[in-house]
Structure 1
Amino acid sequence: MSALSDLIASLGTWNWFIAGVALMALETLVPGVHFLWFGLSAAVVGVLVFLLTAVGLGEALSFPWQLVLFAVISVATVFWVRRFTNAQNVESEDKDLNQRSAQYFGQIVTVEDDITGGRGRVRVGDTLWMATGDDAPKGTRVRITGANGTVFRVEPV
């Protein structure tokens, strides 16, 4: 174990670059855009440590402080990225894209199976949908006024 710790200590600043590349490579194996930002943070810490060492202040940032800096930059990076890439802010031209039944509101369709006792089926295109509404015999034209899940609410035209 001492040989491993000697190797890690001998690499110095390169540890951060190696960690950054390893974390970014891990992102390709475990997608989800999480490890990328930690890898970027490790690279930033590596650059800062390299620059401080180049100007003779390398001892000012000991390894425990480097870890703290890495943690702070990682958290800041994650929150910064989340702020600008929030999926909730995505606008779509088709507001009903993921609500298939909402796409049919207002359409006039034909009763396929009698609506009795408030329940029956209507034909929309080539598909049969469950429907609720006033009793209506097969062949009656009805308007879709709403939906409860995949069951249309209909009313006579």
Structure 2
Amino acid sequence: MPGWLSHMDPHWVWLSLGVLLAAAEIVAPGFFLIWLGAAAIVTGVVAWIVPISVPLQLGIFAVLSFIVLYTARRWLKANPIASADPHLNQRAGRLVGEVLTVTRAIEDGRGRAKVGDGEWPVHGPDAAEGAKVRVVSADGGVLVVEPA
């Protein structure tokens, strides 16, 4: 154990560890480290109020970590976080419902349609160039269309 650490009161080590873990959650979000930070802070408060040995403190931290992680996981499973924009990084998914103009005739189920200032590959029933089609779904980078 480093010399500077052996001169510190254990509760300050736990409280510092808890704050560092909470800060690490901000830097590397994953909704995991915050719970370990909370367990460390509670362990620090317990060690501050009741002078106990370091091995017992480690046991308290381990038990608290298990309890808060298990409880948080169950709570998140029962109360999922709904996204305000589920298609945020799915450009093709955002196009569902849009009406597009066919730029290369859809033949044998394949063609191209104008999207913004570009063209996207489309799958759907045969349609002539210039026809209007509506996007019904996306399959990777290919839009599935139907006549509008």
Q: Please report the TM-score for the alignment, with normalisation by the length of structure 1.
A: 0.67
Q: Following TM superposition, by how much is the alpha carbon of 1:97 offset from its aligned partner in structure 2, in angstroms?
A: 4.0
The residue type paired with residue 31 of structure 1 is: A
From the two aligned structures, give the one with the greater helix fraction: 1
User: Are 1:31 and 2:22 matched, yes or no?
Assistant: no
1:108 is matched with which residue: 95, 99, 116? 99
The change in CA–CA distance for 1:18 and 1:132 in structure 2 (over 3 A counts) is same
Partners in 1 of 2:133 and 2:60 — Cα distance?
66
Partners in 1 of 2:68 and 2:99 — Cα distance?
52
Please, which runs of 5 or more residues in structure 2 have no aligned partner?
Answer: none
The change in CA–CA distance for 1:40 and 1:132 in structure 2 (over 3 A counts) is closer
Q: Following TM superposition, by how much is the alpha carbon of 1:122 offset from its aligned partner in structure 2, in angstroms?
A: 0.7
The change in CA–CA distance for 1:154 and 1:16 in structure 2 (over 3 A counts) is same
The residue type paired with residue 46 of structure 1 is: G
Query: Which structure has the larger Rg?
Result: 1
The change in CA–CA distance for 1:76 and 1:126 in structure 2 (over 3 A counts) is same
Does the aligned pair in 2 maintain the 1:110–1:140 contact within 8 Å?
yes
Residue number in structure 1 paired with 2:116: 125
Q: Please report the TM-score for the alignment, with normalisation by the length of structure 2.
A: 0.70
The change in CA–CA distance for 1:17 and 1:43 in structure 2 (over 3 A counts) is farther
Percent identity, aligned pairs only, is 35
**Superposition RMSD in Å:** 3.3
The residue type paired with residue 45 of structure 1 is: T
| Structure 1 residues 21-78: Cα deviation after superposition (integer angstroms, max 9, x where no partner) | 145235535633544433433332233233234xxxxxxx433222211211122233
Work out the number of aligned pairs and report it.
144
